[in-house]
Amino acid sequence: MCENCRQQNSAASTLSSRRSVLRAAAALSAGLALGSVADAKPVKTPPKPQNVLSPDAAVERLLKGNERYVEGLSRRHDFTHEREALVGGQNPYAGILSCADSRIAPEYAFDAARGDLFVCRVAGNFANEDTVASMEYTAANLGTPLILVLGHDSCGAVDATIKSLKDGSTLPGHLPSLVTAIAPAVRASSSQPGDPLANAIRQNVIDTVAKLKSATPILSAAVEQGKLKVVGGIYRLKDGKVEMVA
């Protein structure tokens, strides 16, 4: 074979080898891509799809539920099927930070079903480290779009704080911790005209809303991104109506 022929055969062999390497690489890439698709976890459907709402829609749903409750037209809930649907998870549409007063039951007040509300309750409905962490959990892990701070008229915890500060007295047991938490709202509202108790209750709701909105890094970021809304309301004991606090 002449030298020219040898060079042509060598070039053809090299080109064929390069093509084989490229085919193998392409096949490997395709295989990895298919493997990634096969290994990808399917998107999990939330247990209550109807609870996937925008923050504004969640507010509207809460208020409509409260209207039904006030009018005595609460819906009948099928707790058996609700329990079954929620065994594998939860996606509440609202978090509620409520007073622990036995006369206020958020699930009743908003005609809510099981799995609809993520509720934290403490006398005086203030936000401490535990309640802030709980609201962070529902917002970040459960995708809850709304938090409502729910105070109520004639709140005993707020009234006790007013009296303690006025008299300079110390309440027994662990009750002073409630006074410490609520005292800033009592002081901030002390110069407002009108009923001191009603003013302090309202101010306490406003302050707690502000604290949750600004709680870094989770809640404040969710509010800024429009994924979360934090609002306040006051429950009226006489008729059960919730009045929103601006």
Number of independent structural domains in the chain: 2
d(CA 233, CA 150): 5
Q: At CA 217, angle to CA 212 and CA 223, rounded to 5?
A: 55
Residues 97 and 189 placed together within one structural domain of the fold: yes
- Please state whether 111 falls in left (phi above 0), alpha (psi between -120 and 50) or beta: left
CA distances from 121 to 108, 127, 130 (A): 14, 10, 11
**Mean of per-residue pLDDT scores for the chain:** 87
Q: What pLDDT is attached to residue 41?
A: 55
Q: Does one domain contain both 140 and 29?
A: no
**Which residues of the chain are modeled with pLDDT < 70?**
1-43
Same domain, 224 and 122: yes
The predicted pLDDT at position 38 comes to 43
pLDDT of residue 183: 98
Dihedral sign (CA 223, 229, 231, 237): negative
* Lookup result for tokens 């298919």: 34
102, 75: one domain: yes
pLDDT attached to residue 5: 47
31 φ, ψ (degrees, to nearest 5): -65, -40
15 with 87, same domain?
Answer: no
CATH code where residue 74 lies: 3.40.1050.10
Same domain, 64 and 184: yes
What domain range includes position 10?
1-40
- pLDDT for res 40: 53
